[in-house]
Every structure is written in C-alpha cells, then in structure tokens.
C-alpha cells in the first residue's frame, strides 16, 4: 500500500479524520505496520496496550467476552481498534482477532503525543470529539439510572 493510500484509509478512521493531511502523513510514515493471518489474535482482553490500531485491510473481530464470538464487532478498513490506547497505556478491555488476513497500522501513545504537540488544532478537535462522546455517555448513564430508580419504585 502506498503512503497516499495509507493516508486515505487513516483519514476515514475515527479520530484521525479530524487531523489535517500533514499530521496524517506523519502518522502514516511513523506508525508500525502489522500483518496478521486469519484466526491470529491481535491482542487479548486484560493485556497491557501498546497503542491503537487502524485496520488498513481485512477484517478484525473485537469482543469483550473471552471466547464469545456472538458479541463480536466486525471492523474493516478505516476502523479504529483501541481508541483510548492511542493516548494511554492501559489494560485492554476487549480482545481482537483477525477474521481474515489483515493489515493493521499500530499507533503508539508516544507517536500520538508527538503528532498532537506538533498540530495543536488537531489536538483541540480530538479533545472536543472525545469530550462530546463522554458527555453523551454521561447522559445515557443518567437515563439508565432514572429507569432503574423507576423500576425500584
């Protein structure tokens, strides 16, 4: 895959779509490419993260329940696997397994930090998007709490 093709796929990925072409070029050039075979585990739930992954080609199944494929979310090209792992090293909340031969781009927190320091407008856009997501999550949890309180009486 050419650098321009890599940048195009990155630009479709959540978070990365908020970056300009120059920032995407640095990510595309500096990130690690990882190729996996069908059935190969990309990472397991509970492992320490090494960064986030953007699916460049193929299909990845992400699942929070060990050994359970029923809850798997299928992720194709342009999908982001492990959004929070782009920013912090943490325990993986889910597992990811290749459903078919796939190519992934691994972006470490160190690389993300460097790019965001160099491109403050991209950092501000990403911060705003994450804040919006957290606000929606908080609102949804509030609604669940109200429903549970109504059930309890």
DSSP classification of residue 18: G
CA 50, distance to chain mean position in Å, is 12
Model confidence, pTM: 0.84
| pLDDT, mean of residues 123-143 | 87
pLDDT tens digits for 20-29?
999 999 999 9
> Is 55 a residue whose pLDDT tops 60?
yes
Is the pLDDT confidence value at 145 over 70?
Answer: yes
Say how many C-beta atoms besides its own lie within 10 A of residue 32's C-beta.
13
Catalogue all structural domains in the chain, each as residue range(s) with its CATH number. Answer: 3-152 (2.60.120.10)
Task: Decide which of 150 and 107 is more confident.
Answer: 107
Q: Is 58 helix (H, G, I), strand (E, B) or coil?
A: coil
């Amino acid at each position: 895959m050419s650098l321009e093709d890599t940048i195009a796929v990155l630009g479709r990925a959540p978070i990365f779509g908020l970056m300009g072409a120059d920032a995407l070029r640095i990510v595309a050039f500096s990130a690690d490419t990882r190729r996996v075979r069908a059935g190969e585990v990309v990472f397991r739930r509970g492992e320490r993260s090494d960064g986030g992954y953007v699916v460049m080609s193929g299909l990845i199944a992400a699942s929070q329940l060990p050994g359970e494929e029923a809850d798997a979310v299928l992720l194709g090209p342009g999908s982001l696997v492990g959004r929070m792992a782009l920013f912090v090293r943490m325990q993986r909340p889910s597992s990811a397994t290749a459903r078919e031969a796939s190519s992934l781009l691994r972006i470490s927190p160190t690389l993300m930090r460097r790019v965001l320091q160099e491109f403050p407008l991209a950092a501000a856009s990403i911060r705003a998007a994450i804040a919006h997501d957290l606000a929606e999550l908080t609102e949804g949890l509030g609604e669940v709490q109200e429903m549970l309180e109504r059930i309890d009486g």
